[in-house]
Amino acid sequence: MKTIVRRPVDAGRLSNLSSQHPLLARIFAARKINSDTELELGLAGLWPFQKLKGIDQAVKLLHDAMLQQQQILIIGDFDADGATSCVLAVRLLRAMGASAVDYLVPNRFEYGYGLTPEIVKVAQLKKPDLIITVDNGISSIEGVALARKLGIRVLVTDHHLAGEQLPDADAIINPNQPGCEFPSKCTAGVGVAFYLFIALRAQLRKAGWFESKEIPEPNLADYLDVVALGTVADLVALDHNNRILVHQGLQRIRSGRALPGISALLKISGRTQSEIVASDLGFALGPRLNAAGRLDDMSLGIECLLTDDDQLAMEMALQLDTLNQSRKEIESDMKQSALSSLSEIQVSSEQVGLCLYDKEWHQGVIGILASRIKEQYHRPVVAFADAEKGVIKGSARSIKGFHVRDALDALAKRHPEILKKFGGHAMAAGLSIERKHLEAFTQAFNLLAREWLDEADLEAQVLTDGALESSYFTLDIARLLRDAGPWGQQFPEPQFEGVFQVLQQRLVGEKHLKLSLAADQNSSPLDAIAFFVDLEHWPNSTSQVRVVYRLDINEYRGEKSLQLIIEHLEPC
């Protein structure tokens, strides 16, 4: 059972937002917005690139490589943030006149994550003078060392948390490296790369590069559709800086100026391009891009975003969509297997950190599986799948109060023989262990979770913005809320709570519950839908429900109407 909790609203913040619509003022105050200034989303509000530690060395490295017409190789990652970072780097370097730019993305199943020594050996075949990592590299100690030994210079751009040792790269840009004063610590990998090119363009402009090469100076705002996609898909917190990047990218997409690949992905996912919101990037485009890296090769997703040919972009988008359908089927089977094993052991108060493994599970889908199990049981979860001989790879997902990357670090210090390697964030991490250490890891992980979390932490909460007065059930209010975004991680889309009379309920699409609700006897019926309901409990004969919901605009045959999207549903 989940507890419904209303977000607190600070009276001081509320008074500072008096110029806003009363409903928006309440919502923004609950998200710790202190003034109207924090709601301004123009590019002038971005933090300056000069605050990034290592930016001067990085720019000099790149500028020298361009002056000497050297081979530049981008090393990406196999998720949506890594793919968009790679696309951004390739497109901008080419637009800025770099003579030879190529990319390489490690195959998840052959090489694993980051600039490993194995991928450096593959990269060497392309004879690069400079390697630029995007969305990886901060933990690639051995890979960077080998590249340097081979005479290849290395520029690391990353946003993951740094370990005790940093790679001996020629330059490092990472807002989370020690000593970096850049305020937006939650910048995605693609955002870090974007800042590199803001700084590079400033240097090239100062040096008269564009005039000497007789090429137009690129407008970096033209690339914000890619930045927005990677930022939202990577589930980083939408602080003010990230909201600016995402808002500006959405504006570009809505105006019809998106990359052909982004437009194609929107079309096959049934989204109206002129009205997309941030969640469309996260729930429609992100999974289709990620499917390439999970099941096949992320190069397909990168090429979809690199092409300027509309027809080719659509062909590749269709391939990505097919891969995503396959991913859903694999995920469904794995989830049933995981739930079956958990029901057998009956999760109890003694089992706080959950570890799952099945030799049949797909390595590319364990991250999603861990997320699904975490959502269901509200506990930290690590899902494992077989990797190379004798080794299993794990994907961890966590809950508030349990910094999973720090937990793995603590576990490694207690049991140095268990973890082969690990890395990640507060809420998500990846790791590798030998199969023979699974039981020991399971016990150690559970012990840490029991030490760090109490009963209150294990109680799932549904946060709301309170009740919504009946006069606000309008299309105009739904548009007001939509346009007040972008909404996302740590700046969540408004959702409200209330008790409603049930006028009708029926299943649609086999798993979704369509309802007609009334706030009181005198109010007009409201359309509502709850996705993926528990078919053992719904539909039923209840006449009154308590729901947590979002206001949405439903479009059907050209007609727009108000719809409640139900996030939590329980009979009264």
* pLDDT for 143: 96
pLDDT computed for residue 464 by the predictor: 97
Assess whether 401 and 539 both reside in one domain: no
Strands ordered across the beta sheet of 130-134: 100-104, 71-75, 130-134, 153-157, 171-173
Q: Domain ends where: 271, 296, 319? A: 319
In this structure, what CATH number is given to the domain that contains residue 401?
3.10.310.30
Task: Give me the CATH number covering residue 497.
Answer: 2.40.50.460
Q: pLDDT at position 348, please?
A: 65
Q: Looking at residue 296, what is its pLDDT?
A: 76
Residue 12 lies in a domain: no
- Which strands sit side by side in the sheet containing 391-397, from one edge to the other? 354-357, 381-386, 391-397, 428-434, 419-424
Under DSSP, is residue 560 helix (H, G, I), strand (E, B) or coil?
Answer: strand
> Does 357 lie in the same domain as 211?
no
User: How is 7-69 classified by DSSP, letter by letter?
Assistant: PP--HHHHHHTTTS-HHHHHHHHHTT--SGGGG---GGGSPPGGGSTTHHHHHHHHHHHHHTT
31, part of any domain: no
Nearest to 427 by CA among 363, 336, 385, 490: 490
Instruction: Give residue 114's pLDDT.
Output: 82
Same domain, 402 and 312: no
On whether both 81 and 147 belong to a single domain, the answer is yes
Same domain, 260 and 364: no
Does any domain span residue 36? no
Establish if 335 belongs to a structural domain: no
Shared-domain flag, residues 71 and 207: yes
| Same domain as 556, residue 521 | yes
Residue 426 and residue 471 share a domain: no
Q: What is the mean pLDDT of each run of 10 residues along the chain (572 residues)?
A: 90 94 97 96 97 98 96 92 96 96 82 85 95 95 96 96 91 97 97 98 97 96 98 94 98 97 96 94 93 83 96 96 89 83 64 91 88 91 90 94 94 94 85 95 95 91 94 95 95 97 92 93 90 90 95 87 95 90
Between helices 80-95 and 286-295, what is the axis angle to 10°?
100
Per-residue model confidence (pLDDT) at position 344: 54
Q: Is 510 left (phi over 0), alpha (psi -120 to 50) or beta?
A: left
Q: State residue 215's pLDDT score.
A: 96
Does residue 406 sit in the same domain as residue 552?
A: no
221 and 112 co-located in one domain: yes
Q: What is the pLDDT of residues 197-228, one digit of tens each?
A: 999 999 999 999 999 999 999 999 999 999 99
Model confidence over 422-437: pLDDT tens digits? 888 888 889 999 999 9
* Residues 469 and 444 reside in one and the same domain: no
Are 375 and 299 within one domain? no
Phi-psi region of 110 (alpha: psi -120 to 50; beta: other; left: phi over 0): alpha
- The residues, ordered by sequence, that sit 6+ positions from 12 with a Cβ below 8 Å of its Cβ are none
Phi, psi of 101, rounded to the nearest 5 degrees = -130, 130
> Where in the sequence is the domain holding 377, given as residue range(s)?
353-452
Q: Are 418 and 407 in contact (CB under 8 A)?
A: no
Q: Verify cis geometry, omega within 30 degrees of 0, for the bond prior to 486.
A: yes
Burial of 12 per CB tally in 10 Å (0-12, 13-18, 19+): exposed
Structural contact between residues 398 and 422, judged by C-beta atoms closer than 8 angstroms:
no
Which pLDDT belongs to residue 521?
77
DSSP element (H, E) containing 15:
helix 11-16
- pLDDT at res. 69: 95
Separation of alpha carbons 435 and 389, rounded Å: 9
Q: Give the pLDDT score at 477.
A: 97
Query: Rounded CA gap, 566 and 278, in Å?
Result: 19
Comparing CA positions, the residue from 28, 40, 424 lying closest to residue 235 is 424
pLDDT value of residue 109: 62
Count of H-run helices and E-run strands, the chain: 19, 17
**8 Å CB contact between 132 and 93:** no
Token digits for 447?
């012990």
**pTM of the predicted structure, to 2 decimals:** 0.90
- Total number of domains in the chain: 3
Q: Give the CA distances from residue 321 to residues 68, 266, 290, in Å, rounded to whole numbers and listed in that order.
A: 41, 11, 10
Q: What is the CATH number for 212?
A: 3.90.1640.30
Residue 257 in contact with residue 79, Cβ under 8 Å? Answer: no
Residue finishing a domain among 417, 452, 487? 452
Q: Give CA–CA dist 301/293, Å, rounded.
A: 8
Place of tokens 């402009």: 205
Contact in structure between 128 and 167 (CB atoms under 8 Å): no
Q: What is the Cα–Cα distance from 25 to 14, expressed in whole angstroms?
A: 6
Instruction: Tell me which of 427, 452, 477 is where a domain ends.
Output: 452
The Cβ-side half-sphere exposure at 342, using a 13 Å CA radius, reads 25
* Within-domain flag for 178: yes
The DSSP secondary-structure symbol of 309 reads: -
Nearest-angstrom CA–CA distance, 184 and 200: 20
**Contact yes or no for 234/79 (Cβ under 8 A):** yes
Determine, yes or no, domain membership for 17: no
In a domain, 160, yes or no: yes
> Is position 341 within any domain?
no
